[in-house]
Amino acid sequence: MSSRLNSLHETDIAYQIHPYTNARVHEQQGPTIITKGEGAYVYDSEGKKYLEGLAGLWSVAVGFSQPRLVEAATKQMAELPYIQNFAHKAHVPGILLAEKLVEMAPDHLTKVFFTNSGSEANDTVVKFVWFVNNMLGRPEKKKFLARNKAYHGITVASGSLTGLPGNQKGFDLPAIPVVHLTCPHHYRWAEEGETEADFTARLLKEAEETILSEGPETIAAFIGEPVMGAGGVMTPPEGYWPGIEALCRKYDILLVSDEVINGFGRTGKPFGCQRYGFKPDIMVTSKQLTSSYMPLAAILVTDEFYQTMADYTAELGTLGHGFTAGGHPVACAVGLENLKIIEELDLMGNAARLEEKFQTGLRQFSDHPIVGEVRGVGLIAGVELVRNKATKESFQPGGKITAMAVKFAAEEGLIVRNIYESIGICPPMIITEEQVDELLVKLGAALDKTMEWAKSEGLM
Ligand code: PMP
C-alpha cells in the first residue's frame, strides 16, 4: 500500500488542478495523500501528523473521525439507505434535520430545501428567485448583484455569481445576468487615505447607482458571503451589511446570505448574518452542516417566499427542480447528529470564546516583514503577504509566495491554504487553546521560512 502511494507522490497522476492553488508549485511537489484523521489532526501516507488548520475545506467543525457520525451513517444505511424526495415522498432524517435547521436559524427563515453541494444550492437559489419573480408577474426582474472576489460555487449559475476570473476564464462565465460590485475589503480596495467609513459609503453609493442605472425593476437579488471565504477571507467594513440590506428593502431586491463557510458558528455567532446584523430573505448553508462527512447543502427561505413558490407550483402542476441525491437520508442523518454534537459540545460557544486568543495571536504577525494584513473574525482568518508593507506591493509572480508558505507550514505539521496572495486559516471548531498556540507557533515558523526563501530567491 505504502509503496503504491509513494509512487503516486512521484507522478502527477493524482494531481488535480484546483481553482485557487498555484499549479506550478504543487506540480513540482505532487499531492499529499491524507490517509487518516483524528480530532483536529490528520496524517499523510508517510505517517506525518498535521494540525488541520483549514478544517478540511472550511468544514470539519466536529473534527475528524467523530464516531457518532460514523454510527449515525451506519444506522441510516441499515435502516433506509435511500428514498427520493420527489413525488410526495419524504424521510425522517430529512424532516428532523429541516426542523433542526429552522430551530437554529434566524426566526424568519422557516422552510428548507436540500441539495448536495453549495454550488447546486446557489444554482437552485437563482432558479427559485427567477421562478418567484415569474409568478409575481415581473419576468424582467432577473439580474443578480454579487461582488468581485466572491465565491459562490462552480456550476453554471453559481460560477457566474462567483467573482474570481480564475473560475470564469475559459468557461464562458458569467452565463447568467449578474453585475459584480467592488469587493468590500478595505485593505486592498480602499482608495489612498480613504477611511473605513468613507469606503463603506462609497461602496453603498456604487451599489445604489448600479441598481438605478440597471433599473431596480431588473434586479432580482443581491448575494454575498457575510465574511468572504474562498476569495481570501475578507471581512466587510463597518456598516456595509446594514447599508446593503437597506438598499435591498428600498428597491425590493431579495437579499441572499451565502453562509456555506460562515454558517454554524464559524464567525463567533451562529450565522454570519447575525454577526453583521442583517436579515437575509434566503440563506445558504453547507460544509459545517455535516462537517463535510457527507455531501449536503440546505437553503432556508421565508414563509412568504415559500408560499409564492407553492402557489406557482400548484398553478404549473409541478416544481420541476430537484436532485436524485438532494437531501439524501444518510447525509441528513449525519447532518442531524453533527448539529447535535455542535450544540452538546457548545462548539459555537468555543469559537466565540477562542476568537480573542486566535485573532489576537494571528495579529501578532502583522509586524512580520512579509505580512501586509491579518484579518478575520471568530475562527476564520486571512494573512496577506506583501513584498513591501508600506506600498502593499505583492510578490511576483502572483500566488507563488503563498504556495511556498503553505509548503513550509506543511513541513512544520500545519495545513493551511494559499489563496492568491493570502493564507486562509479556519481550524476545526473543536480546537483547544493549546492547539491554537500550536497553530500560531507553526504558522510563525512557516512565515519565517517563507521570508528566508524569498530572500534567497532575490524576491525581497
Ligand atoms: N458558496 C461558498 C461561500 C463557498 O465557500 C463554496 C465552496 N467553497 C460554495 C458556495 C460552493 O460549494 P461546493 O464546493 O460544495 O459546491
The structural domain count of the chain equals: 2
Model pTM above 0.75: yes
Pocket of ligand 1, beta carbon within 6 A: 117-119, 122, 151-153, 225, 229-230, 258, 260-261, 286
Query: Which of 344, 360, 394 marks a domain boundary?
Result: 344
Closest CA to 244 of 234, 252, 233, 255: 255
Q: What is the mean pLDDT of residues 432-447?
A: 98
What is the spatial distance between Cα 1 and Cα 283, in angstroms, rounded to a whole number?
Answer: 44
State the pLDDT at residue 3.
Answer: 43
For residues 53 and 124, state if they share a domain: no
Q: How far is the CA of 105 from the centre of ligand 1 (A)?
A: 19
Position in ligand 1 atom list of the atom nearest CA 258: 3
pLDDT digits (tens, 9 = 90+) for 222-235: 999 999 999 999 99
**Closest Cα to atom 13, ligand 1: which residue?**
118
For residues 439 and 321, state if they share a domain: no
SS3 track for the chain: CHHHHHHHHHCCCCCCCCCCCCHHHHHHHCCCCEEEEEECEEEECCCCEEEECCHHHHCCCCCECCHHHHHHHHHHHHHCCCCCCCCCCCCHHHHHHHHHHHHHCCCCCCEEEEECCHHHHHHHHHHHHHHHHHHCCCCCCCEEEEECCCCCCCCHHHHHHCCCHHHHCCCCCCCCCEEEECCCCHHHHCCCCCCHHHHHHHHHHHHHHHHHHHCHHHEEEEEECCCECCCCCECCCCCHHHHHHHHHHHCCCEEEEECCCCCCCCCCCCCHHHHHCCCCCEEEECHHHCCCCCCCEEEEECHHHHHHHHHHHHHHCCCCCCCCCCCCHHHHHHHHHHHHHHHHCCHHHHHHHHHHHHHHHHHHHHHCCCEEEEEEECCEEEEEECCECCCCECCCCCCHHHHHHHHHHHHHCEECEEECCEEEECCCCCCCHHHHHHHHHHHHHHHHHHHHHHHHCCCC
Categorize the per-residue pLDDT at 30 as very low, low, confident or very high, splitting at 50, 70 and 90: confident
Q: What is the mean pLDDT of residues 342-355?
A: 98
For residues 188 and 140, state if they share a domain: yes
For residues 335-370, b (16+ Cβ closer than 10 Å) or e, as one string? Answer: bbbbbebbbeeebbebbbebbeebbebbbebeebeb
Q: What is the mean pLDDT of residues 175-197?
A: 98
For residues 85 and 110, state if they share a domain: yes
**Closest Cα to atom 8, ligand 1: which residue?**
230
Position in ligand 1 atom list of the atom nearest CA 122: 10
Mean per-residue pLDDT over the chain, rounded = 94
Query: Which of 301, 326, 344 marks a domain boundary?
Result: 344
For residues 133 and 167, state if they share a domain: yes
Test site for ligand 1: of 282, 286, 293, 417, most ligand atoms within 8 A of the Cβ? 286
For residues 205 and 339, state if they share a domain: yes
CB atoms within 10 A of CB 132: 23
pLDDT at 440 over 50: yes
Query: Which of 282, 315, 344 marks a domain boundary?
Result: 344
pLDDT at 2 over 60: no
For residues 318 and 361, state if they share a domain: no
Test site for ligand 1: of 116, 162, 260, 271, most ligand atoms within 8 A of the Cβ? 260
For residues 337 and 399, state if they share a domain: no
**Integer CA distances (angstroms), 370 to 302, 408, 450, in order:** 46, 15, 9
pLDDT at 208 over 50: yes
β-bridge partners, 298: 114, 285
For residues 337 and 356, state if they share a domain: no
For residues 295 and 377, state if they share a domain: no
For residues 55 and 187, state if they share a domain: no
CATH of the domain at 301: 3.40.640.10
For residues 127 and 206, state if they share a domain: yes
Which residues constitute the domain of residue 97?
68-344
